[in-house]
Structures are given as structure tokens and as C-alpha cells.
Structure 1
Amino acid sequence: MRAKIPTIGLALAAALAFLLPAGLSARAAEPTFDTGMIPPGHIFLPEGEPGANIFLISDAGGWGDGEESLAKKLSGDGATVVGIDFPAYLKALAADKGDCVYMISDVEALSQQMQRAGGAKTYNPPIVAGIGEGGALALAMISQSPKATVGEAIAVDPLAGIPLDRELCTPAKKTRQGNRTVYDMTDGPLPAAVTVILTKNAPADGRSHAEALHAAHAAIALRNDDGTALDSLSQALSDRVDAAGDDGRTLGLPLTLLETAPTRDTMAVIYSGDGGWRDIDSQVGGVLQSKGIPVVGVDSLRYFWSARDPQETADDLSRIIDTYSRQWKVGHVLLIGYSFGADILPGTFNRLPEDARARVSQITLMALSHRADYEISVEGWLGGGGKANAGDPVTDIARIDPARIQCIYGKDEEEDACPTLAGSGVELIGIDGGHHFDGDYAALTDRIVAGLEKRLKN
């Protein structure tokens, strides 16, 4: 099918065409799209350069006011949006004459058309998303997607399987349940990031299926949400739009990304000392990168330059974990903090949502003190310590499973808090030297990775 986006009236369009200089491309020129089996009629282009690229699938009731409002909001924030009416799309899929049903070619082709029409300078792979039946269909799409084709699937309260008699083109395991077919994911690494959000109204069969998928693929982000399904989907998609507006790189935060192909199904997040992302922080990050562990470095000097609320810090860390575990397709997280960064990390971890905490396999605290602050202070720069407005991090550590924690200290550092944790079950590592461990950062990183590998096996 070919579809045109809604535009201004013919008279006004003619007037604008008369006023525009010859050769000037006008968005009012009504770009036409070949939508394939996707029902036309709900296509939204932003005013400026497109960012995120979203395919929003309705629930069983079809495209309604809620979907329309969300699509317009996302488009207003810079996303290209294709709205898919689930009942109409299901009918089109059922009528397809192929040996099996393949949805991804239409999604990819329409995605490319829209980004071209919008003048995107960088291609953003499509995000397929929906609630209920729409969420179930988004998951089914990933079961048949090639690698590097779809960016992500976001499913809120999905049902188990889809009500389509014809089989999808996929080698993934499939199970017939009544009038529905339930699809697993293909073996091996996921072809795209997957996020499943479950509210209190999630159907029992859909919850069970999502949990089974997560058990088979740790990289699937599975979390519970107290809000409504529409609010949960809106927030998740808004986060993706915000990330795309920041080139999908740093979430509007002072982050350094050290990317590499993951070799341990693990990424690291490192909070620097109060001097910023340099010296020990960046060098440990570089060694981790060389060992196949991609790194997100948080510049504490810039991030905590003004006071941060502890819950705000935890929310940002949750966003970091969610975004980059999806981007790098890893199931585990290594949290590292040095000095100021070590002091705030236990309290921040305790405020993370349960799903984010569950991903953290190891917390490495280097040069820990008894004073936690969520704001950089002049006293800290001068070596006098902060004001301890957030209390003693040792108190926060007591609330964490000690088997998760590795505390590294310089044997010459008399005020380090790590030795006070002796007998608690925390892994203590004393290294020759003081606050900077005599500069042997490669050996230091080897100790961190050795602890991680041990914990990943448990």
C-alpha cells in the first residue's frame, strides 16, 4: 500500500508552493510511502531532523485516542512514528500468500523511507513497541528479525503469543496454545534489544512467557512498573527519544563510552573520583575495554558539580544500565566507584529498582571513605573530605549482600574504610601504596576482573 502523511489543505499548499523559491524542498510536498502489509493512515514526521524511529502497535481494540496522543507527543519531541492498527495489520498478515509470514522487511523498508523523507543525517533503526497484543507482536517480530535490523522491542503487558494461524518465518521454537502461537527467541545472542515492562494488570500467561524469555536470554530487560500500561510505554519511548536526540550516546549526562565487543556478557559503569574522568578511572576503564568489557564512565566532577538528590542519581544509573545493556546486549553489570565515586555507590545501588539491582554481579569500591556526599566540595579537593551529608557508606554497605562487594584499598591509606569491613563477608583486597595504589592500574584491573569472573560463575 502507498500512504501519504496528513498535510495542510490544498489551497494553502498551493499558496505555499507559489511562495517557495524554485528547487526548495518543502515538507508540505506530501511524501508518499510504500507501507507493504502495514496499514496506512498513521504516519507522523517531526518538524526537524528525525531522531528515534518508532513503530507503535495498538492493542486488540485498534488505533485509538491514547495511541494517537502518544504518537503526536513522540513526533513533537523529534521521533518518526508509524502507528499500526493491530486488528487491521493482523488481517493483512493472515491474507499474505507467502509460505510463512515475514514482517521485518516492511518495517525496515518503511523505516528507511521515513528517515529519508525527514532528512535524517544518521539512520536510527526502528523501535517496535506496544501494549497487550501490540507488545506480543513486537516480541514476535524479534523472533524473526535478522541482526542489526530492528533496534529494540518494547513490550508492555504482552500476551503470550499472537492470534495468527499462519506461522512466522523463523527457526525459533513455536508452541500452539489455543488460537495463539507462542514464539521463543532464536538461539544465541539476541538480534535486537528487548525490554518487557509488566504492570499490575499484566496477563498471567504473558508474565510467565516474559519470565521464560528472560530466563533463556539474560540480556532481555524485564521489569515491573507501578504505573498504567500507557504511562509505562510513554515513559520508555520518551527515554528512547531523548537518547536519540543526544545522538543516542550519553543520555544528556557527562559520560565517556569505551565500546568493545563484550566477551563476558558484562558491561561496567565507573564513577570517577572528584577530580573527574582521568587518571585511575580512565585507565582502569581502558584496561577493562581491552579485556572485552565495554565501559560507561561517569565524570563525578561534572555530574555532582551541584547537589544531586540520591534518588535522582539512582534513577540516572538505572537509565545508564537500561540503555547500554540493551545497546551492548549484555545481561550483567559491574559497578565500580573510586574515592568520591565509591562513597556514593552503595547508597545509589540501594535505591535502584529491583530489576537493575538484579543485573549487578559485582560492586567494586576503591579508596572508600566514611563520608558520602552527592555534591563536589572544595574540602574534598583539598584532601579534607566532604561534609558527609549522605552519611557513612559503610551503613549502606550493610544493606547489600556482602558476596557482591569487592573493597580495594591502599595499605598505606590509614583512613580507608575497607579494613573496617573485615569479617562482614565483603571481599577485601589490600594493595601496596596509598590512595592511588602506586599507579599499577593494570594489576589493579586484573584483581577486579578476577573477582567478576568468580561471581559470574556463582
Structure 2
Amino acid sequence: MLISGTLSKCCKLLGCLLFFAVLRGNTQSNVNNLPVVLKAPVAGTTEPLILYITGDGGMKKFSANVIESFRQKNYPVVALNALKYFWNKKTPQQAAKDVASLITYYQGQWDSNHGVVLIGYSLGADVLPFIYTSLPPEVAEKVKHLVFLSPSTNTDLEVHVSDMLGKSSSKGMSVPAEINKIKDKPLLLVFGAEEKDFNLSSLNVRYQQLILPGGHAYDEDANGVAGKILGALHP
């Protein structure tokens, strides 16, 4: 009886281990199929993981330089290429599931347990509130700050060529309305001094605002933008 009981417990334990191994394998498989650029952490860093979502132009010079600036300041970065990822329409739940997988997987791979900062630029900023509000609670609780770089007023979580040509659409879900649902995290909204499209009066949540020189690309001063963002997060 003792041997039988012990064997039964061992089988159950083995079954659990196999289940989690398969789950981990599926997560890794899903993560490997996502269009991301990685900036691995330096040894011993205590900075949070940055999950960055590009604009609809993808990993262009500005975003590439911004995430490299974060890396140089010892922040590990996982950057999702919005052009490739949102080329096909996503639901908030789909996007949140993939972002949660990225956060969970790379925090584990890099032994990064110092929280998460979510940063979105342009289209990335538009989709960010919808992703955050759809995250699983155990992932959302890891998020320390949300940073919105030049969001617009509406999104349908899909790349549109007309938007890439500067012809913004008023169709889709309201970005300010979704931001207004985020009442439990510090919010930073960043705009170029020449940008006038986003109506801040539509927000009824507390937020910090940062106005930088230039327009939508902030005079291409990626290093300066990264420094100002990190300075605002750690005043």
C-alpha cells in the first residue's frame, strides 16, 4: 500500500511537471512568432523591464534609437513592431495575451523581477490602454508606469496606409475613454510642442504631461526623449 501510494504521488508530480513543461513550450513558441527586437539586461541591473510598442512605421530610426537609449541606461527592453504585428487587425484580448506572454517569458529568461514599464509610441500609444485593461491581473500588477508617446484619439488596432500617410481617421474605439479606465497606475503623456490633435480635456484621470520640442518625432532626438521619459518616471 505504501509503495502504491508513493507511486501514485510520483505519477501525479510527473504529470504536473509535464503539464508545465508543455505550457512553457507553448509560451516560448508563441513568443518566438512575435515580431520583437530585444535588448537584454546588463548583469546586476535592478531597472524594470520596458515593453515598448512602435508606431505604425515599425522599427524605424526613432524607435530603434529610443530603445537603444533605454538599453544604455541599463533597462532591458522588449520592443514589439506594430507595423508587422497590427498589419492584421487584433482584438484587445489578442494583443494583451501576446504582450502578457512576452512579459512573462522574458522576465523569466532574463531573471528580471523589478516590475514593468509599458511604453507606446503613436499607434503603439493608441493600442496601449486597450492592452493594459485586458491584461491578466497577475501581469497587470507588475506594471509600474504607462507612457503614451503622441497618442491619437481613436484606434481599431490595425495598421492603415492612410494613417501612415498622415490622414488620421476618426473611426474606431476612443483612446481617451480607455485611458480613463486606468486609475491604479501612474500615467505619463508625451507630446511634441507642435502637436495639437489630442484633446487632453477628455481625460478625467490623473496624469503627468511632458511637452518636448518638435512634432510627432520630437526633432528625432531619441536619446533626449528617452532621458526625459526616465527622468519623469524617477523625479
What interval of TM-score do these two structures reach, taking the shorter chain for normalisation? 0.7 to 0.9
Equivalent residues in 2 for 1:85-124, closer than 5 Å? none
Matched, 1:341 2:129: no
* Structure with more contact order per residue of length (Cα contacts < 8 Å, sep ≥ 6): 2
Matched, 1:317 2:66: no
How many residue pairs get aligned? The number is 228
TM-aligned CA distance change 1:238 to 1:309, over 3 Å = farther
Verify the 8 A CA contact 2:47 2:74 in the aligned structure 1.
Answer: no
Verify the 8 A CA contact 1:406 1:428 in the aligned structure 2.
Answer: yes
Partners of 1:421 and 1:433 in 2: CA distance: 23
Equivalent residues in 2 for 1:35-434, closer than 5 Å? 61-63=9-11, 67=14, 130=17, 234=19, 236-242=20-26, 250-261=31-42, 263-331=45-113, 332-386=115-169, 388-389=171-172, 391-401=173-183, 403-417=185-199, 419-420=200-201, 424-434=205-215
Find the residue that maps to 1:330 and give its secondary structure.
coil
1:442 is aligned to 223
What amino acid sits opposite 2:189 in the alignment? C
- Richer in helix (by share): 2
Report the RMSD for the aligned CA atoms in angstroms: 2.5
Q: Deviations over 1:67-125 (max 9, x none)?
A: 5xx6xxxxxxxxxxxxxxxxxxxxxxxxxxxxxxxxxxxxxxxxxxxxxxxxxxxxxxx
1:75 is aligned to none
Find the residue that maps to 1:61 and give its secondary structure.
helix
Per the normalisation by structure 1, the TM-score is 0.46
Per the TM alignment, residue 402 of structure 1 is displaced from its structure 2 partner at its CA by: 6.5
Per the TM alignment, residue 416 of structure 1 is displaced from its structure 2 partner at its CA by: 2.9
Per the TM alignment, residue 411 of structure 1 is displaced from its structure 2 partner at its CA by: 1.3
1:208 is aligned to none
Per the normalisation by structure 2, the TM-score is 0.87
Find the residue that maps to 1:316 and give its secondary structure.
helix
What amino acid sits opposite 1:453 in the alignment? H
Per the TM alignment, residue 242 of structure 1 is displaced from its structure 2 partner at its CA by: 3.5
Find the residue that maps to 1:379 and give its secondary structure.
helix
Q: Deviations over 1:229-277 (max 9, x none)?
A: xxxx83x53342135558xxx4310111111226234111110000011
Per the TM alignment, residue 286 of structure 1 is displaced from its structure 2 partner at its CA by: 0.3
